Structure 1
Amino acid sequence: MPKTAVITGITGQDGSYLAELLLSKGYEVHGLMRRSSSFNTERIDHIYQDPHTPDRKLLLHHVDLSDGVALVNLLRDVQPDEVYNLGAQSHVRVSFDAPLYTGDVTGLGAVRLLEAIRASGVQTRLYQASSSEMFGATPPPQNEATPFHPRSPYGCAKVMAYWSTVNYREAYGLFGVNGILFNHESPRRGETFVTRKITRAVARIQAGLQEHLYLGNLDAVRDWGYAPEYVEAMWRMLQRDEPDDYVVATGVAATVRDFLQAAFEAVGLDWERSVRFDPKYERPSEVDALIGDASKAKSLLDWSAKVQFDELARIMVESDIRQLEDELSGHRVRVDR
């Protein structure tokens, strides 16, 4: 009998790749999405509407992480083998402008889901999407034993979700794991996140549709990996005999400037001619360096990252160039000067 999984945040970058992975393994996948006045399913349309894969079962539900009763009812109806909580307000800079909303969705939302699992009595395994932003000001390299020192409302909310998962594991015997994922990107990354903002700008600058790219701190050090590889690690965590917490990272440090250079070099351009500083993109409190030590994941999950930041930048630039070419062939595209 095929396994059943529930994914919160299925319309996001990670949710879409995870849905593909689970469907390829024969799962029946139930995706949760917030009700809104506009559709936001473009990342999963290709699998949801694919006529060539009728045996792949993907079902979508309008259930919000703010609605604990709806979560209980859905879990009782679906009886999932696995639950992946990827739903969140996940933009760090935005969390400073919307701290209460971020805390409610990213922090309390995880608690509501944990309590819904407990209250429904469903025997399932939970993956909680934790974040390297929880480490914040703690110096790298960061591993599972590194103390947390978050530097944003988003990081604080993720710490709450992390410890709540540990608490439900210890108090109620819930099979709950935390995947502490460092920055991971792809062509499906939202356009307001710095890596996608860069690669999309490269495509537009090369095409003569944009002159400048405005960014904040170029010296921030991050550990950038490839999202399709990282969802594989999520799945592997839930296949273990015992629940535990894992750092998922490449271990390779790169500044925003390094990523910029790799992205512009992918099309033979000099980034310094196009990039301008804008203080509005700086955070009130900055995280200087996040570099993960994924030794535990390599040892226990047999997982390690293959794609490094320079190849990642090239993959994303080439995808944005193809997407722009498709837009240009279909209709007029705005020129940014």
Structure 2
Amino acid sequence: MTKRALITGVTGQDGMYLSRLLLSKGYEVFGLVRGQNNPKRQIIEEWAPEVKILTGDLLDQSSLLRALNASQPDEVYNLGAISFVAYSWENAQLTSQVTGLGVLNILEAIRLYAGDDIEKVRFYQASSSEMFGRVQEVPQRETTLLWPRSPYGVAKVYGHYMTINYRESYGMHASSGVLFNHESPLRGPEFVTRKISIAVARIALGLQEQLTLGNIDAKRDWGFAGDYVDAMWRMLQQDTADDYVISTGETHEVREYLDIAFNHVGISDWEKHVFQDPQFFRPAEVDLLIGDAAKAHETLGWKPTLSFDGLVKKMVDADLENEKAKAGR
């Protein structure tokens, strides 16, 4: 019998990788897109044309119920959110509504849809390492105290605990993946890793001269999005729902990303191209994120396959091709 999955946030980096993964496993995949004329709709239609597009909004529970009735999913992956941390300070209310209350809306919609057969739909919530914020232990694991330092992180904490609450209150098969930073050539250009890979490609091709960033000493645990969506799928194949940290267990400074990226295109003196601007610094920085994914290794049989070095080069190579195509080279 063919499994059916519904993905919110299907036009984002994770949604696109997850949709291909599920299709490769024989799933019938439905993707929720906000608005009839969403410009991102074309992206997923080109990336994975087999995905069936439904319209809906995490802030509109009736639309979520319609999507559930239309897709009749065995699995729901909630990847929809306002996910750019810097923006969350500019619009904390909207971030809280979509990234926080949106989780409650989809959980409640599933509860209403499933009725007495609550376990017929398995649910995945995209939690985030930003929930750890001002980290209380190193490395961070599933039991680490949460201390978010951005409106985005606070909203993710709400969604995380609401997922646990529905699991414990209603017996819903609801799991959360506490994913540390994960990147790919599909990452949005507003995120620092993609901002760098695009700029490095353009500088190498003589299309721009400099790159302006915020704190290049910030440390993150960066993995490959293609690896991380595999962990999401594995969580929903378990007999018992649970929460899992998904990370590489390595931490790297932004300047290390810069060093690998620029050296990959033959530029060793990258400092003359990179400038720091205080306007790009966070009001409250998350200085050191590094995850302990031992539980995922042992229970899910999951491990990352792409190294940090390989990830950076993969992103730079993709953007070199993109920029050459744009320039007609």
Shorter-normalised TM range? over 0.9
Deviations 1:245-290 (A, max 9, x none): 0000000110011111111111111220100011111111000000
Q: What count of residue pairs does the alignment treat as equivalent?
A: 323
Runs of 4+ in 1 over 4 A off after TM superposition: none
Partner of 1:7: 7
Partner of 1:18: 18
Distance 1:302 1:229, change over 3 A: same
CA distance in 1, matches of 2:30, 2:272: 47
Secondary structure of the structure 2 residue equivalent to 1:44:
helix
8 Å CA contact 1:237–1:301 kept in 2: the answer is: yes
Distance 1:16 1:71, change over 3 A: same
* 1:274 equivalenced with 2:273 (yes/no): yes
Identical aligned pairs, as a percentage? 53
CA distance in 2, matches of 1:313, 1:74: 37
Q: CA deviation at 1:76?
A: 2.4
CA distance in 2, matches of 1:37, 1:279: 37
CA distance in 2, matches of 1:124, 1:43: 27
CA distance in 2, matches of 1:289, 1:71: 37
8 Å CA contact 1:252–1:291 kept in 2: the answer is: yes
* 1:101 equivalenced with 2:100 (yes/no): no
* 1:312 equivalenced with 2:311 (yes/no): yes
* 1:68 equivalenced with 2:65 (yes/no): no
CA distance in 1, matches of 2:206, 2:42: 27
Q: CA deviation at 1:38?
A: 4.9
Partner of 1:111: 104
Structure 2 spans left out of the alignment, 5+ residues:
none
Partner of 1:239: 237
**Of 190, 198, 201, the match for 2:199:** 201
> Which amino acid is 1:39 matched to?
P
> Which amino acid is 1:18 matched to?
L
> Which amino acid is 2:129 matched to?
S
8 Å CA contact 1:190–1:196 kept in 2: the answer is: yes
CA distance in 2, matches of 1:219, 1:131: 21
Structure 1 spans left out of the alignment, 5+ residues:
50-56, 331-337
> Which amino acid is 2:57 matched to?
D
Partner of 1:185: 183
Q: TM-score, normalised by structure 1?
A: 0.93
**Of 135, 146, 151, the match for 2:132:** 135
* 1:215 equivalenced with 2:213 (yes/no): yes
Deviations 1:96-135 (A, max 9, x none): 1010000000000000000001111262000000000000
- Over the aligned positions, Cα root-mean-square deviation in angstroms equals 1.2
> Which amino acid is 1:130 matched to?
S
Partner of 1:89: 82
